[in-house]
Amino acid sequence: MKRTQLTAVLLVAALFFTGVAIGALGHRYYQSSVVMAKPSESLRQRYVSDMRSKLRLSPEQVEKLEVILDDTKAKTKAVREQYRPAIAKIKEEQVTRKVDPLADPGHRVRTTGAGTRTTVS
């Protein structure tokens, strides 16, 4: 191989590996900055485990804690189901009373079956 070809191959390889390194660093930064939601069951297991070790709970006490957590989960679910229709109504009013009047007569916003809003021409 000529010297210029060898230099070109080395430069391309260096560029490639630099891109790999930048990509890896970017991925690591993205992973550390994004909040990842954990399933509630894994959080619950961790909470029960922490409570068991910190408070030195007996198996009977752990069962009582599980009942308390189940009750709390049911209550929060009931409250969540109560306010969801109110939130949906507020969002719909926003579109129909406030956003639609801003648009030209032929460009109204409508809600699709999936709950997303699209502009109708």
pLDDT of residue 99: 75
pLDDT of residue 113: 47
Asked if residues 117 and 109 have their Cβ atoms less than 8 Å apart, the reply is yes
Q: Angle, to 10 degrees, between the axis of helix 40-55 and the axis of helix 59-93?
A: 140
pLDDT of residue 8: 93
Tokens of 102: 């801003």
Q: pTM surpassing 0.75?
A: no
DSSP 8-state code for residue 39? P
pLDDT of residue 3: 84
Low-confidence ranges of the chain (pLDDT < 50): 113-114
